């Protein structure tokens, strides 16, 4: 594999966890957490208001990030920072996933377990 020059690829997105976070171990023993993030916001595009919605799978590798994913409950508000990449899927399918570097649970005072 040839070296690739570094490029801008950093995403910060906030939303709510959809479902509970799941954790498994890779064949190498690395813990991998997974959850789905639902984002909904109002944005301005070309001077006009626009509703922005998306759902993006999040992968959280390593003990601390996988543990953060494991503790997420459905509807919990969260902010994730990391890079995006293509999911390992069939050739020709270009589904994006967010590989988390930071997971922050947002204000949970109004969140009911």
pTM: 0.84
pLDDT, one tens digit per residue, over 70-109 is 999 999 999 999 999 998 766 667 789 999 999 999 986 6
Residue 47 to residue 19: CA distance in whole angstroms: 35
Q: Domain 11-105 falls in which CATH fold? A: OB fold (Dihydrolipoamide Acetyltransferase, E2P) (2.40.50)
Residue ranges of domains in the chain: 11-105
Residue 79 has a CB neighbour count (10 Å cut-off) of 14
């Amino acid at each position: 594999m040839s070296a690739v020059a570094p490029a801008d690829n950093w995403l910060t997105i906030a939303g709510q966890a959809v479902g509970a976070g799941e954790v498994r171990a890779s064949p190498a023993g690395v813990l991998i957490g997974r959850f789905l993030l639902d984002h909904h916001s109002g944005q301005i595009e070309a001077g006009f208001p626009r509703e922005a919605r998306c759902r993006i799978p999040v992968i959280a590798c390593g003990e601390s990030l996988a543990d953060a994913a494991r503790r997420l409950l459905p509807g919990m508000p969260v902010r994730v920072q990391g890079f995006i990449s293509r999911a390992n899927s069939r050739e020709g399918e270009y589904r994006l996933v967010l590989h988390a570097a930071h997971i922050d649970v947002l204000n949970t005072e109004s969140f009911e377990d």
